[in-house]
Amino acid sequence: MKRISSATLLLTMLVALSNTVSAETPSHKDARTFVAQAQIGRHLSTLALSAAKRTNTYAMIATKLGSADASNAVSGEINALLPQYQPEWDENLAAAYEKSFSQEELSSLVSEGRASKYAGKVKEQQFEIGRDMQSSSEPILIALVTEALKATLSKYIPK
């Protein structure tokens, strides 16, 4: 039941996002640019592998393949799926930064990077941004992990 609910939620969210037409504000554009420049979303694969390792499915794969091979197999599947999930993840990161920073702050972070007088605020806001990402992006992480585990099972564990 929980898998169906998560899948339904993800599908609904994807449809809603694909149908949303709105003008991009300068603040959002700067937030997206900042996320891309600073490569803030680069840890999605690490988060996904960590989440996968906490599942019963991963434990079953590890029993069959061994710990190192299971990690490599699942990691490979996650990396193959990243192009499908990373854009939405990064978009949610941009939205979280946009909530926590003003237009002036984001513009400064984009143009000056670590030299920006607001660079310290990035660290100060990590908890709030993390909490926002957890609520907005958990379905993305669940879908990525689920798809990677299914792909690993189908490739490496005969039925």
Name the H helices within 21-158.
26-37, 44-52, 56-65, 67-100, 103-112, 119-124, 126-156
Condensed to tens digits (0 to 9), the pLDDT of residues 68-126 reads 999 999 999 999 999 999 999 999 999 999 999 999 999 999 999 999 999 999 999 99
How distant, in Å, are the alpha carbons of 45, 51, 125, 132 from that of 78? Answer: 6, 11, 28, 23
Q: What pTM value is reported for the model? A: 0.81
Indicate the domain borders of the chain. 2-9+32-156
| pLDDT number for residue 159 | 73
Condensed to tens digits (0 to 9), the pLDDT of residues 51-60 reads 999 999 999 9
- What DSSP string describes 21-40? --PPPHHHHHHHHHHHHTTG
Q: What percent of the chain has pLDDT over 70?
A: 86
| pLDDT number for residue 118 | 96
